[in-house]
């Protein structure tokens, strides 16, 4: 899971805000002054000599699971209880018990909703764990393209018992840690890659296309971070364009292509996300909440707020139950 550090205005500090609503998930955060929201998750591997992290996760109540983020590791998720929605590169994927998900390295993803009694296994892999020190023709042909994002896998693997068993066996080997468990896990990972190469390839990129994708990904990451740091102020596309050194037309086109959404939709999402936290956690007036999160018109704020939450700001204030934000609906 990702740990977020946040920058909060003095006005928010005075009201003791320590919580954000991200993808519908109420997440308690430690306040760290002058740090920005970090979308990149640096995965802590428990063993630096074996770069694989495995864990199980259970959630009794319905709600969000983890916020928008990305990492350089490839990630495999097997949902064996409940259901959830995962956003991958702007696409919402509904997952039911029995389904598996592949998160490509350097792919934006987050969970906007999960049902009660969610249960899943997660395997996060630094692909270098499958690389040898010396040249290997098979690795060069099959592992290298995956490691360098030249092969992009489809995210969803619906109810496949073979892939389920790979993840379950990795979990078993990892937990038991019997002699040679690392070799057993590597063997299972190789089998998973073979399965994906045969059944789940979405696209194959040339070296040039892969480099362009990587550069575009970094540009989008910078844009998202800029918005998350400046949502309280007026955000103009011209300002972002100038800061990123690209034209307004290219900026809007690239953002839409990479995320599936517009810049305005993301800005409004961030502002509503923060407004929900303020409304639920403070006694600030609705008008002041609107101004604090970057809306200059209270009526417009109410319309946008309702489009995301299906509730008015005052309704949110009256209720104490979890509110699901319908991300991207502007």
Q: Are strands 74-81 and 118-125 parallel, antiparallel or unpaired?
A: antiparallel
Of 205, 223, 249, which residue is a domain's last?
Answer: 205
Number of structural domains (the chain) is 2
Same domain, 97 and 197: yes
Same domain, 231 and 135: no
Question: Which tens digit of pLDDT belongs to each residue from 79-93?
Answer: 999 999 998 887 889
CATH number of the CATH domain containing 280: 1.10.10.60
Number of continuous H segments (helices) and E segments (strands) in the chain: 12, 12
- Residue 161 is assigned to a structural domain of this protein: yes
Q: What is the distance of C-alpha 256 from the center of its chain?
A: 17
State the alpha helices, DSSP H only, in the chain.
Answer: 10-14, 137-138, 144-147, 161-176, 181-199, 207-230, 237-244, 248-259, 263-281, 286-292, 298-309, 313-318
CATH number of the CATH domain containing 101: 2.60.120.810
- Residue 183 is assigned to a structural domain of this protein: yes
Query: Which of residues 134 and 226 earns the better pLDDT score?
Result: 226
Question: Which tens digit of pLDDT belongs to each residue from 311-321?
Answer: 899 988 887 44
Check pLDDT > 50 for residue 113: yes
Same domain, 170 and 223: no
Question: Which tens digit of pLDDT belongs to each residue from 257-271?
Answer: 777 678 998 899 889
Check pLDDT > 70 for residue 77: yes
User: What integer pLDDT is reported at residue 49 of this predicted model?
Assistant: 81
Check pLDDT > 60 for residue 20: no
Same domain, 171 and 287: no
Same domain, 271 and 194: no
Of 161, 182, 205, which residue is a domain's last?
Answer: 205
User: What integer pLDDT is reported at residue 65 of this predicted model?
Assistant: 63
Split at pLDDT 50, 70, 90, the class of 135 is: confident
Q: Are 263 and 270 in contact (CB under 8 A)?
A: no
Of 205, 240, 263, which residue is a domain's last?
Answer: 205
Question: Which tens digit of pLDDT belongs to each residue from 28-64?
Answer: 222 222 223 345 566 677 777 889 999 999 988 887 6
- Residue 142 is assigned to a structural domain of this protein: yes
Same domain, 223 and 252: yes
Same domain, 196 and 227: no
Backbone angle region of 180, left / alpha / beta, with phi > 0 → left and psi within -120 to 50 → alpha: left
Same domain, 187 and 243: no
Same domain, 115 and 234: no
- Residue 27 is assigned to a structural domain of this protein: no
Q: Are 61 and 115 in contact (CB under 8 A)?
A: no
Same domain, 85 and 216: no
The single-letter DSSP state of residue 278 is H
- Residue 3 is assigned to a structural domain of this protein: no
Backbone angle region of 245, left / alpha / beta, with phi > 0 → left and psi within -120 to 50 → alpha: left
Distance CA 57, CA 171 (A): 12
- Residue 36 is assigned to a structural domain of this protein: no
Joined together, the tokens standing for residue 2 give: 């990702």
Q: How many CB atoms are closer than 10 A to CB 118?
A: 24
- Residue 6 is assigned to a structural domain of this protein: no
Comparing CA positions, the residue from 90, 91, 59, 68 lying closest to residue 20 is 68
Q: What is the pTM of this model?
A: 0.69
- Residue 8 is assigned to a structural domain of this protein: no
* Host domain of residue 194: 52-205
Same domain, 58 and 149: yes
Mean pLDDT of the chain: 81
Split at pLDDT 50, 70, 90, the class of 25 is: very low
Joined together, the tokens standing for residue 287 give: 């008008």
Query: Cα torsion for 258, 262, 265, 271, to the nearest 10°?
Result: 70
Joined together, the tokens standing for residue 257 give: 């292509």
Q: What is the mean pLDDT of residues 302-328?
A: 73
User: What integer pLDDT is reported at residue 136 of this predicted model?
Assistant: 86
Same domain, 56 and 92: yes
Check pLDDT > 70 for residue 239: yes
């Amino acid at each position: 899971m990702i740990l977020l550090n946040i920058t909060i205005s003095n006005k928010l500090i005075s009201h003791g805000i320590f919580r954000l609503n991200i993808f519908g998930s109420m997440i308690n955060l430690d306040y760290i002054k002058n740090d920005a929201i970090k979308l990149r998750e640096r995965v802590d591997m428990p063993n630096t000599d074996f770069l694989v992290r495995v864990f199980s996760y259970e959630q009794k109540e319905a709600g969000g699971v983890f916020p928008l983020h990305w990492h350089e590791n490839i990630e495999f998720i097997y949902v064996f209880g409940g259901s959830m929605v995962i956003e991958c590169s702007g696409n919402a994927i509904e997952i039911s018990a029995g389904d598996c998900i592949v998160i490509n390295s350097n792919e934006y993803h987050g969970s906007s909703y999960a049902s009660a009694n969610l249960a899943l296994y997660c395997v996060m892999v630094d692909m270098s764990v499958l690389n040898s020190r010396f040249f290997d023709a098979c690795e060069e042909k099959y592992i290298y393209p995956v490691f360098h994002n030249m092969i992009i896998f489809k995210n969803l693997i619906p109810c496949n018992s073979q892939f389920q068993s790979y993840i379950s066996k990795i979990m078993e080997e990892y937990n038991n840690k019997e002699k040679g468990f690392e070799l057993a896990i590597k063997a299972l990972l190789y089998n998973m890659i073979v399965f994906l190469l045969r059944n789940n390839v979405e696209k194959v990129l040339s070296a040039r296309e892969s480099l362009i994708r990587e550069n575009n990904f970094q540009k989008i990451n910078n844009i998202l971070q800029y918005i998350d740091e400046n949502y309280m102020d007026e955000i103009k596309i011209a300002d972002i364009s100038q800061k990123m050194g690209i034209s307004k037309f290219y900026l809007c086109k690239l953002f839409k292509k990479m995320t599936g959404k517009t810049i305005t939709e993301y800005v409004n999402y961030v502002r509503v996300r923060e407004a929900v936290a303020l409304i639920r956690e403070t006694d600030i007036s609705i008008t002041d909440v609107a101004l604090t999160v970057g809306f200059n018109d209270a009526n417009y704020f109410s319309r946008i707020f309702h489009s995301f939450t299906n509730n008015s700001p005052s309704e949110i204030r009256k209720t104490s139950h979890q509110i699901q934000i319908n991300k991207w609906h502007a």
